[in-house]
Amino acid sequence: METIDRDLLEDLRRVAEVRLNEPIARHTTFGIGGPADVYVIAQNADELRRLVALCNRSQTPFFILGAGSNVLVSDKGIRGVTIENRARGLDGPMDNLNGSAVFRAESGASIAALARYLCRKGFAGLEWAGGIPGTIGGAVVYNAGAYDGSMATVLKSVQMVSKDGLQYELAVEELGLAYRESAFTRKLFEGHVILSADLVLQPADPDELAQRLVELDSNRQASQPRGRSAGSIFKNTREYPAWWLIDQVGLRGHRHRDAEISTKHPNFILNVGRATAMDVMALIELARERVEEEFSVKLLPEVAFVGEDLQ
Ligand SMILES: Cc1cc2nc3c(=O)[nH]c(=O)nc-3n(C[C@H](O)[C@H](O)[C@H](O)COP(=O)(O)OP(=O)(O)OC[C@H]3O[C@@H](n4cnc5c(N)ncnc54)[C@H](O)[C@@H]3O)c2cc1C
């Protein structure tokens, strides 16, 4: 473990639970990732805000981990401080805009659990997210989406913490949301963190929403593999879906040690045993090379590469 300022460690411990050398593999959907030097668990938005302020004040690099469902973390782990976001509070309906309802969800809330809860309560707008295993924060950063819905279609604003620990609000228009990217992925908010998000939903019939969830669940089950993965590895290109390109170059089912390009959906890579980040990277590089050779198309990753020697 790299030296972390003792005073910072003490300060972090005063706010939240701190673990040293925590294996990140336990906290990613891939089941991959080496040790985090310092691993802190924020249980609510106020703890998250204070932890971020402490790291920024001491100029210590930090990484926010949501559900770990869109990251490939280095086998060497993450230096500095990793903050797991378990801030899961929900407020609402708070407000009415033209008959619609506004809910404020803390950024560590599970987007799938929230989508299902809102359907049960008779609020439409987040059904598309019923099978996405991330947090609200991760969903904003990647403008998560499925089945014609995305965060951009439901998000009103986010509450942020700045580098100096101050809280402020940004309207959705200021977040630069586009297909699986945002001002966050473009590194325009380094050191700032999403504390919560305001979502706008429409009143609807809970039975119809439940039916819609069943349809979307069965679509997902029919098209996506079970098992440890980070969902889609690459973004679709303008012309072709990434899975089709990978299939065309003959890589469906291709394996490198315990990492496997899914036979069911070739844009998923599965950890079928004890795959390492390097094993997954080998498949990623292979797919990129073959697709570029045969189609002159550059596949861009949808997943984030995190940690030592992988960024
Ligand atoms: C089986 C499976 C299916 C999936 N299906 C879909 C799908 O249909 N559509 C889709 O869009 N995605 C899908 N994904 C990908 C993933 O679930 C989404 O990208 C999700 O939004 C990531 O959220 P997370 O909390 O897991 O983020 P993480 O992977 O934990 O983090 C991702 C990035 O966001 C940053 N981040 C997280 N929280 C915050 C915050 N509060 N403030 C600032 N930065 C933050 C992290 O630092 C990191 O850089 C799927 C993944 C899996 C495993």
CA of 134 to the centre of ligand 1 (A): 5
Nearest CA to ligand 1 atom 43: 193
| 144 in contact with ligand 1, CB cutoff 6 A | yes
Give the Cα separation of 172 and 156 in Å (integer): 5
- Would you say the CB of residue 33 lies under 6 angstroms from ligand 1? no
H or E segment and range at residue 193: strand 193-203
CA gap 303, 311 in Å, rounded: 11
- Indicate whether 1 pLDDT > 60: no
By percentage, how much of the chain surpasses pLDDT 90? 95
Mean pLDDT of 182-187: 97
Q: What is the DSSP letter of 149?
A: E
19 token code pair: 């673990």
User: What is the rounded (10 degree) CA torsion for 193, 123, 121, 130?
Assistant: -60
pLDDT digits (tens, 9 = 90+) for 116-160: 999 999 999 999 999 999 999 999 999 999 999 999 999 999 999
Which pLDDT band holds residue 98 (cuts at 50, 70, 90)? confident
pLDDT, one tens digit per residue, over 10-54 is 999 999 999 999 999 999 999 999 999 999 999 999 999 999 999
Q: Which helix (H) or strand (E) holds 19?
A: strand 17-23
Res. 5: pLDDT tops 90: no
Whole-model pTM?
0.97
Q: How many CA atoms lie within 13 A of 25 on its CB side?
A: 14
Q: Nearest residue CA, atom 21 of ligand 1?
A: 139
Q: What is the reported pLDDT for 9?
A: 97
Rounded Cα distance between 33 and 76, Å, is: 7
Quick one: tokens of 82? 């990793």
Confidence of residue 71 (pLDDT cuts 50, 70, 90): very high
Q: What is the pLDDT of residues 42-62, one digit of tens each?
A: 999 999 999 999 999 999 999
Q: State the pLDDT at residue 97.
A: 65
Asked if residue 3 has pLDDT above 70, the reply is no
Residues annotated catalytic, as ranges? 180, 232, 302
The pLDDT score that the predictor gives to residue 99 is: 85
The b-or-e profile of 53-82 (16+ CB within 10 A means b, else e) is bbbbeeebebbbbbbbbbbbbbbebbbebb
Nearest atom in ligand 1 to the alpha carbon of residue 220 is 8
pLDDT of residue 16: 98
Q: Please give the number of the atom of ligand 1 that sits closest to the Cα of 306.
A: 49
Arithmetic mean of pLDDT, 291-302: 97
| Residue 33 to residue 55: CA distance in whole angstroms | 22
Residue among 44, 142, 219, 262 to mutate when testing ligand 1 (max atoms within 8 A of CB):
142
pLDDT of residue 94: 84
For 227-280, how does the pLDDT look when each residue is reduced to its tens digit (9 = 90+)? 999 999 999 999 999 999 999 999 999 999 999 999 999 999 999 999 999 999
Give the model's confidence band at 205: pLDDT under 50 very low, under 70 low, under 90 confident, else very high.
very high
Q: In angstroms, what is the span from residue 128 Cα to ligand 1's centroid?
A: 15
Domain limits, the chain: 6-85, 90-223, 242-306
- pLDDT over 80 (residue 78): yes
pLDDT band at 4 (very low <50, low <70, confident <90, very high): confident
Q: For residue 84, list its beta bridge partners.
A: 41, 65
Mean pLDDT of the region 193-203: 97
Q: How confident is the model at residue 173 (pLDDT cuts 50, 70, 90)?
A: very high
For residue 77, report the distance from its CA to the centre of ligand 1, in Å. 18
**Residue 144 Cα: closest atom of ligand 1:** 11
For the domain made up of 6-85, give the CATH fold: 3.30.43
* Protein residue with least CA distance to atom 3, ligand 1: 231
More confident call, 310 vs 106: 106
Would you say the CB of residue 109 lies under 6 angstroms from ligand 1?
no
What sections of the chain are H helices per DSSP? Answer: 6-15, 45-57, 111-120, 136-141, 151-154, 206-223, 242-248, 277-295
Q: Which CATH number fits domain 242-306: 3.40.50.720, 3.20.20.300, 3.60.15.10, 3.90.78.10?
A: 3.90.78.10
Asked whether the CA dihedral 146, 228, 119, 198 is positive or negative, the reply is negative
Asked if residues 181 and 92 have their Cβ atoms less than 8 Å apart, the reply is: no
- Cβ–Cβ < 8 Å for 23, 32: no
Identity of the residue numbered 149: G
Average pLDDT (174-187) is 97
CATH architecture of 90-223: 2-Layer Sandwich (3.30)
Find out whether the beta carbon of 66 lies less than 6 Å from any atom of ligand 1: yes
Q: Roughly what angle, to the nearest 10 degrees, separates helices 45-57 and 6-15? A: 170
Distance (Å, whole) CA 155 – CA 157: 6
- The model's confidence at residue 311, banded by pLDDT at 50, 70 and 90, is confident
Nearest atom within ligand 1 for CA of residue 135 = 25
pLDDT, position 193? 98
